[in-house]
Structure 1
């Protein structure tokens, strides 16, 4: 994985200013195909800002983003989506009163063929079938596809959001605090789902404060502090003490991109 010469997605020397505040101060980051990388750091460390610059929500003040070695610019999240990058936000960005198929195809609704489609009629049957196939491919089981998202458990809602991202992303899925506020059983289901996303060949970026969860699924941990990366851990170095020490500033293990 790390032996590959060209990262799937790379951020180089990213600076992001909000007026007089410098949220990112020369931040670097890279991820390779079929790799799970965790971004960790205290609140305000810059990890969420960095991710937003990589998925088109924010534009970097300075620096560059490269996709498979080629400099790119994503003016909006739709441009990142078109490039194969999907984000699962902490609020999941789902319509609570709609069922799973409607949420899976939210903004990407399938229309019926022929004249009916031209009149705006949706192909609910096809969206339902494709939703069932997508959930099954990731081993996600729901009692009913017809139930509104608001009636599902937290873990089930998170799973539907992740499967939706995987359905539309052919390169990279970004997850913001995927296990936050979940119980033990729900957390286990989401962590297993992350492993299956990796097994499908997609890369995964996780923003998280949960060190045990990260250590279970991540191939590498990148720690940010005060707007820049200050440590990188993988293999035997990816320990609880090292990660916590880097988050608090007790350990600095600066690395080149």
Structure 2
């Protein structure tokens, strides 16, 4: 059960307010340690004992846990992660020929899109992931593989249905005072929800967009991807053009 506060995606201000950390720089210290990927409050060596005890009683650095690891010869690492309510998701580390490392993360437990070719779609949607759960996926991979170069939202779930949590997670991961991941190294994928593409273009974050087109045949796409109903190829083309013009990406 989720009984303590997950803090992986909390800002400095939120940490200070949530745990009444004083003096004010204490929250910034905690924030820095989270970005470094520490797994226990005892590792926060510049914190006083009282602050560490308070955090230990009220908070968790990881609300989820890795329940299974699978590693392929090509360097691909797949983690099965069990959330605090018992649901399971997957996150994957991809390594290219130049040894650049990419985190492929999930944003939902299950998926409501029901694409015919996707196994996750057969599960249905259990719930959206929280911002902290998304950040934890990234941190679990960095624990095992070192500093990652890129992050792509191409795991379980449809990102456009959980944009607020993704925004919150990325605000921490891209913060210069935190993990400082470049927004140019972040890609959000969608199966074609045009409303979400417009939202992302207008409200950020300024990241790369990937669209799962599958086929340019409208009727075939409708049979494979129910999202096409209400998100036609013509409408999708307009949304992508708007995103490109608005973001220059």
Fold shared by both chains (TM-score > 0.5): no
Higher relative contact order (CA 8 A, sep 6+): 1
Higher-strand-fraction structure = 1
Task: Please report the TM-score for the alignment, with normalisation by the length of structure 1.
Answer: 0.29
